[in-house]
Chain A
């Protein structure tokens, strides 16, 4: 296992004008599960391939435990990778697949078998060891591919490129849980690329969100939820994402229209106010809104809770709240004054 330090990493594909990755800085502690989150085309797979040594960066450095590995191949870096669909050796049985990386590195048959058994026990694969890959389900195949990535005890980092894409939704959580258990148990450093915020939030110790080849934010899942550094992060995380409405600061208070929402210590001028649906309520006090729809999503302590959509000017805002009785068409929006997040030029403005 290794800690990873990425400095000013940039990559441009041959013939491309734009940089795919532009000055990425990244720091991973030893044994950390780190998710790279982003939409398609944000450069997350490129970043993974750079870490794997499949691509050579245009600029910047990659260090594993302080050792510069930028110029080394993936085999020399001692990394393992799991791909979007299960990559197996079709002519080898499951044991053969699992011991392949060990045998190639000069392990004896006996030692390799012992290690394969350990990994198989961890992933609940023992029953499959004598089977041929051809007869297995996609879920089992991907589990074996994961096993092969974990089989080397000295592997520096395990890279996962959207490993749950091909797996049917019903078994996704099983695979994710197996992965998380093994990661914790073996203390593996893992980099997990995904476009799915749920996967990132549930799997990772830390998340890095990419956008257009740059890092928008690195932090814990809680930080991503509570203190998004950028409007894109705010909107991307959560379903629905954070409400972002036009506001302005004057006389030390944040105003939406001419109604004061709460005090802020920011220079006067226009800004964007962000608040999560959970941090607001539509009722009888606050900013006038027009209720569009309510949808019950569950119950809390016997009371129905749900999502309310309302118009504020020409913007739609969502709140997640207790649905006691019916809401008037013309209602008022109250936002939790302690949790206001102010964005200026897309970035979070720290007012406290």
Chain B
């Protein structure tokens, strides 16, 4: 029989992985943490400042505004995209020749580079030449996303819905397609209404895919950068400046490395916290239900 062999050289086998993870994740992250507690003047002149940058960031009204905008934006697109995606998935034909055509159509927005999405909508919504902008203007509604912050928000949310609802719809469709037909037959014989079929047959079986869909949308929408950057540049004023864009202007534009690093750490923690809260609440209700 083989006894447990003590061989410390075996640890060498793990070294490559440790190195890769260190270089890809730990070192960059710790660099940011390191920056966030120092005031850096140049390569040789730096000053330890403790949590000053964190305090400053949390008191910065522009950070607070960007954070509120961010949360409002994420909540809005989530509330629209998830039900809409489920609705589209339910409306799609199953097992027909048209099914794959619809799926390909749905997948198209997901395949377009994000800056191109921004460009498409930047042109599409223009009141002078864009199809959407001109059509709305023709109805007698004044619409200008470069001038009005409400119009900018509407355009941005429409763009995000156009871009990302497909993701929810495709995931929900995959979930629906995996429900065996006897489940529907039984509900029909039990006299269930269309709403009850959705509520008691489909929704419980969609729970896991919808958890993934919501998690992905929460993370992605909190990190949104490219599309508003291309579409509105954060304006008019700061009305569509979200966290990532404010952070970039701080770090790259003004080269405030210390505050930007503190901001980054807070931003990172916020996303992790929100996803963790959501995930644990879903898992807890799973255990109860």
* A83 B189 Cβ-Cβ under 8 A: no
Any chain B CB within 8 A of the CB of A61? no
Interface string of B71-95 (1 = CB under 8 A from A): 0000000000000000000000000
Any chain B CB within 8 A of the CB of A87? yes
Interface string of A46-85 (1 = CB under 8 A from B): 0000001010000000000000000001110001110111
Scoring B186, B187, B189 by chain A CB atoms within 10 A of each residue's CB, the highest score goes to B189
Contacting residues, chain A, for B199 (C-beta < 8 A): 91
Any chain A CB within 8 A of the CB of B177? no
A91 to B189, CA, bound (A): 19
Residues facing B in A133-179 (CB within 8 A) are 134, 145, 148
Contacting residues, chain B, for A81 (C-beta < 8 A): 185-186, 189
Q: Which of A52, A85, A100 contacts B185 (CB 8 A)?
A: A52
Q: A85-B182, A87-B183, A132-B289 are in contact. Are A100 and B189 (CB under 8 A)?
A: no
Number of interface residues of A (CB under 8 A): 24
A75 to B191, CA, bound (A): 6
Any chain B CB within 8 A of the CB of A104? yes
Interface string of B187-207 (1 = CB under 8 A from A): 111111100100111011100
What is the minimal beta-carbon distance from B187 to any residue of chain A, in angstroms?
Answer: 8
Any chain B CB within 8 A of the CB of A266? no
What is the minimal beta-carbon distance from B88 to any residue of chain A, in angstroms?
Answer: 23
Contacting residues, chain B, for A74 (C-beta < 8 A): 185, 188-189
Which residue of A has the minimal Cβ distance to B200?
A: A89
Any chain B CB within 8 A of the CB of A105? yes
Contacting residues, chain A, for B200 (C-beta < 8 A): 89, 91-92, 100
* B289 A104 Cβ-Cβ under 8 A: no
Kindly state the interface size class of chain B when it binds its partner: 20 to 34
A74 to B182, CA, bound (A): 13
What is the minimal beta-carbon distance from B195 to any residue of chain A, in angstroms?
Answer: 11
* A89 B189 Cβ-Cβ under 8 A: no
Any chain B CB within 8 A of the CB of A90? yes
* B188 A73 Cβ-Cβ under 8 A: yes
What is the minimal beta-carbon distance from B76 to any residue of chain A, in angstroms?
Answer: 28
Which residue of B has the minimal Cβ distance to A96?
A: B200
Contacting residues, chain A, for B201 (C-beta < 8 A): 89
Contacting residues, chain B, for A54 (C-beta < 8 A): 185, 188
Any chain B CB within 8 A of the CB of A263? no
Which residue of A has the minimal Cβ distance to B193?
A: A104
* A91 B186 Cβ-Cβ under 8 A: no
* A89 B204 Cβ-Cβ under 8 A: yes
Any chain B CB within 8 A of the CB of A238? no
* A91 B190 Cβ-Cβ under 8 A: no
Q: Which of B180, B193, B289 contacts A91 (CB 8 A)?
A: B289
* A101 B190 Cβ-Cβ under 8 A: yes
Contacting residues, chain B, for A132 (C-beta < 8 A): 289
Q: A89-B201, A90-B205, A104-B191 are in contact. Are A83 and B196 (CB under 8 A)?
A: no
What is the minimal beta-carbon distance from A53 to any residue of chain B, in angstroms?
Answer: 8
What is the minimal beta-carbon distance from B172 to any residue of chain A, in angstroms?
Answer: 17
Contacting residues, chain B, for A105 (C-beta < 8 A): 191
* A87 B182 Cβ-Cβ under 8 A: yes
Q: Which of B186, B192, B196, B289 contacts A87 (CB 8 A)?
A: B186
Which residue of A has the minimal Cβ distance to B196?
A: A104
Q: A54-B185, A87-B182, A87-B183 are in contact. Are A100 and B203 (CB under 8 A)?
A: no
What is the minimal beta-carbon distance from B275 to any residue of chain A, in angstroms?
Answer: 24
What is the minimal beta-carbon distance from B199 to any residue of chain A, in angstroms?
Answer: 8
Q: Which of A84, A85, A100, A134 contacts B190 (CB 8 A)?
A: A100
A133 to B189, CA, bound (A): 20
What is the minimal beta-carbon distance from A150 to any residue of chain B, in angstroms?
Answer: 12
* A83 B188 Cβ-Cβ under 8 A: no
Contacting residues, chain B, for A92 (C-beta < 8 A): 200
Q: A89-B201, A90-B204, A91-B204 are in contact. Are A101 and B191 (CB under 8 A)?
A: yes
Scoring B186, B187, B205, B289 by chain A CB atoms within 10 A of each residue's CB, the highest score goes to B186
Which residue of B has the minimal Cβ distance to A106?
A: B191
Contacting residues, chain B, for A90 (C-beta < 8 A): 204-205
A79 to B190, CA, bound (A): 9
* B203 A148 Cβ-Cβ under 8 A: no
Q: Which of A52, A75, A84, A91 contacts B203 (CB 8 A)?
A: A91
Contacting residues, chain B, for A85 (C-beta < 8 A): 180, 182
A52 to B201, CA, bound (A): 19
What is the minimal beta-carbon distance from B211 to any residue of chain A, in angstroms?
Answer: 15
What is the minimal beta-carbon distance from B86 to any residue of chain A, in angstroms?
Answer: 16
A108 to B23, CA, bound (A): 66
Contacting residues, chain B, for A148 (C-beta < 8 A): 186, 190
Contacting residues, chain A, for B190 (C-beta < 8 A): 75, 80, 100-101, 104, 148
A74 to B185, CA, bound (A): 9
A54 to B186, CA, bound (A): 10
Which residue of A has the minimal Cβ distance to B286?
A: A134
Which of A's residues lie within 8 Å of B, judged by CB? 52, 54, 73-75, 79-81, 83-85, 87, 89-92, 100-101, 104-105, 132, 134, 145, 148
Sample 30 A-B pairs with CB under 8 A, ordered by A number.
A52-B185, A54-B185, A54-B188, A75-B188, A79-B189, A80-B189, A81-B185, A81-B186, A81-B189, A83-B182, A83-B186, A84-B182, A85-B182, A87-B186, A89-B187, A89-B204, A90-B204, A91-B199, A91-B204, A100-B192, A100-B200, A101-B190, A101-B191, A104-B190, A104-B192, A104-B193, A104-B196, A105-B191, A134-B289, A148-B186
10 A-B pairs besides A90-B205, A104-B196 with CB distance below 8 A are A74-B188, A75-B190, A83-B182, A85-B180, A87-B180, A87-B186, A104-B193, A105-B191, A132-B289, A145-B186
